[in-house]
Amino acid sequence: MDSTMEKKHPVDELMRSTMEKIREMVDTNTIVGQPIHTPDGVTLIPISKVSFGFGTGGGDYGKVQPRPFGGGGAAGVKIDPVAFLVIKDGITRVLPVAVPPVSTVDRIVEMVPDLMDKAEQFLDKKKAEKEQESL
């Protein structure tokens, strides 16, 4: 094999170490947590949503051989609690963890299903009234 193919570029090592750190932070126990047992026989299992991203970059600089390398890497992980599985007396329920709306847009989006239900009820009422008048 060619000796240039065996040599890895420093960016490869940067990416590899960044991904290893992400793997250390995020595993299945982060998404589906360890069961919590209460004295009254209830078992709670936390469920989370995990988002992560990473970036790595670098470059060779100068004209001298070997060229100096400069680079960097970064990673970010966001963990949001979503729900708890509640197990009691053989019955499993999902207990959502609602995050309060932060902005006006979030509040509007949260209100849309209720507004749609009210509009549908209003239209059904008007339709029923029209049918009554036509009889």
Q: What pLDDT score does 5 carry?
A: 43
Task: Tell whether 11 and 44 lie within a shared domain.
Answer: yes
Q: Say whether both 121 and 94 belong to one domain.
A: no
Is 118 in the same domain as 79?
A: no
For residues 11 and 17, give the distance between their C-alpha atoms in angstroms, rounded to a whole number: 10
User: What's the distance, CA 48 to chain centroid?
Assistant: 8
61 and 22, same structural domain?
Answer: yes
117 and 66 within one domain: no
Going by C-alpha positions, the residue among 27, 44, 26 that lies closest to residue 35 is 44
> How many domains does one find in the chain?
2
Residue 2: the pLDDT is: 44
Segments of the chain with pLDDT less than 70: 1-7, 26-28, 99-102
For residues 39 and 75, membership in a common domain is answered with yes
Instruction: Please give the residue range of the domain that contains residue 20.
Output: 3-99
